[in-house]
Amino acid sequence: MKLSSVIFSFGIFATSVSAFTPSYTTKNNIAINTRPSSTTTLNQYAQTAQGLVDVTDEYAQRDVYTMEEWAMQYGAQKAPGIELTTQDGADYEYVANQGVGAGQMVMYIPPDIVLNSAAIQAEFGQSLIGAEQVVVGIDQGTQQRLPLFRLMIKILSEYEKGQDSPFYPWLNSLPRQYYNGVSMTDACFDCLPPYAGWLASSERQNYSNFVAAIRQGGYLPLQQETIQDGRVLKWAYNVALTRFHEVWQPERAKLIAPLADMVSLLELFCYFCCGD
């Protein structure tokens, strides 16, 4: 049974019963985390050996079960019967193999492993502000897409750390192959209906603007090897694009919650909850 659920930044509910007792309170069926967020404590889960995620092999085996263990060690929780499944060994999703009651929390993701575009803005500070000014200077229309740009930069930064990144288990669990407009060839665009072609080409243009800003600005603390590697840049953009959820309170932001990004959602409502 696929989950038809409502996702929040730190909790997913089946539609008021809580399955867990982590350090959060509930309010109007919303999981509200009461712990301060500190990504520095994630370092205890970083690997000791160096090594980068191989994004060159589109068919690389995804290590999703190590990612699940990592998330659980850090405090992620899921209801009994919520399990990872795959039909082809390439695509994975969480499904419920037993009934889930309405209002029951089926998954909880602690804020320390949630990528938040608002927090990323504070983390990178002036270097990110300078890069964003270049993005908007290239195309004013990208102003509304800066939260996506921030997620992309964060993913690139963690990618460069290799196995020293606390997010390495999550990065290594992600797909390498995507089928959106950014990944299409010119021949693919010719096969699309006009409106679909316009949407796909707009996405590719937005990606090109982001890459141009990264390469031209010189503001970001990224290695030149990363900046010049189109395969890495495209992978980071596609990860950010395909796995975020947008929230509007208390401020507009895009979030990526490892584990929760693998739930198959039929109904999706996002809330950012920072406390009572």
pLDDT digits (tens, 9 = 90+) for 43-96: 444 443 368 999 999 989 899 999 999 999 999 999 888 899 998 888 999 888
Strand 105-108 versus strand 77-78 pairing type: antiparallel
- In this structure, is residue 146 part of a structural domain? yes
- In this structure, is residue 274 part of a structural domain? no
- In this structure, is residue 271 part of a structural domain? no
- In this structure, is residue 267 part of a structural domain? no
H helix or E strand, kind and range, residue 118: helix 117-124
CA distance 144 to 202: 14
Point out which residues pair with 254 in neighbouring strands: 246
- In this structure, is residue 81 part of a structural domain? yes
Angle at CA 152, nearest 5°, toward 149 and 154? 110
Residue 192's pLDDT is what?
Answer: 87
- In this structure, is residue 191 part of a structural domain? yes
CA distance 27 to 30: 5
Range of the domain at 12: 6-262
Quick one: which of 203, 161, 182, 167 has its CA closest to 49?
161
Tokens of 188: 């693919």
3-state secondary structure 187-252: HHHHCCCHHHHHHHHHHHHHHHHHHHHHHHHCCCCCCHHHHCCHHHHHHHHHHHHHHCEEECCCCC
Quick one: which of 176, 173, 124 has its CA closest to 150?
124
Looking at residue 56, what DSSP letter applies?
A: S
Mean pLDDT value of segment 120-126: 94
SS3 for 108? strand
Per-residue pLDDT tens digits for 81-101: 889 999 888 899 988 888 777
For residue 257, pLDDT beyond 70: yes
Q: Identify the CATH number of the domain in which residue 95 sits.
A: 3.90.1410.10
- In this structure, is residue 272 part of a structural domain? no
- In this structure, is residue 200 part of a structural domain? yes
Report the greatest alpha carbon distance in the chain.
53
Tokens of 46: 């970083």
Point out which residues pair with 12 in neighbouring strands: 7, 107
As for how many domains the chain has, the answer is 1
Mean pLDDT value of segment 30-42: 38
Scanning 139-183, the segments in alpha helix (DSSP H) are 146-160, 168-171
End-to-end CA distance of the chain: 34
How much of the chain, in percent, has pLDDT values that exceed 70? 77
